Structure 1
Amino acid sequence: MYSTQGIEAIATVTELRSKTSALIDQAKTIKTGIMIQKNNEPEAVLLSYDLYLKLYKQLEKSSK
């Protein structure tokens, strides 16, 4: 089993295909993103754009 490391929601690739708009709306309302699973393994995380920018800025600061 893997750790979700703070992820609040999990969706499968199939759900992502069929419920993309709803998952994007949900990602905007949660602070940690939605883990996307493929074959019961974590593959990606769907984040709001605001959270992405925040994380990107933190990465830029730490790399200087």
Structure 2
Amino acid sequence: MYHTEGVDAIATITELRAETSELIDHVRKTKNGILIQKNNEPYAVLMDWEVYKKVKDRVDLTSLSSEVTA
């Protein structure tokens, strides 16, 4: 099992394709991310733009991405 703290909703890739606008509206209203799953595994997180900018200001995402691919 994986940790989903800060994520109040989970959607599949298929749901993301079919319900993109609804999922984006949910993220914008709640300011919480939506965990996107592929084959029942965490794949990505859909998050509000303002929240993303705050995270980006606090965390060097470039260094994180190189750690993940290493």
Normalised by the size of structure 1, how large is the TM-score?
0.85
Aligned to 2:67: none
Tell me, in whole angstroms, the C-alpha distance in 1 between the residues paired with 2:16 and 2:9. 12
Tell me, in whole angstroms, the C-alpha distance in 1 between the residues paired with 2:25 and 2:40. 23
* Within-5 A mapping of 1:8-47: 8-47=8-47
- Residue 12 of structure 1 aligns with an amino acid whose one-letter code is T
Residue 57 of structure 2 corresponds to residue 57 of structure 1: yes
- Residue 15 of structure 1 aligns with an amino acid whose one-letter code is E
**Contact kept in structure 2, 1:10 and 1:37, CA below 8 Å:** yes
**Runs of 4+, deviation exceeding 3 Å:** none
Aligned to 1:6: 6
Measure how far apart 1:30 and its partner are.
2.0
**Contact kept in structure 2, 1:8 and 1:33, CA below 8 Å:** yes
Measure how far apart 1:48 and its partner are.
0.7
**Contact kept in structure 2, 1:35 and 1:44, CA below 8 Å:** yes
SS, match of residue 11 in structure 1: strand
Normalised by the size of structure 2, how large is the TM-score?
0.78
Could you list the runs of 5+ residues in structure 1 that have no partner in the other structure? none
Structure with higher helix content: 2
Could you list the runs of 5+ residues in structure 2 that have no partner in the other structure? 64-70
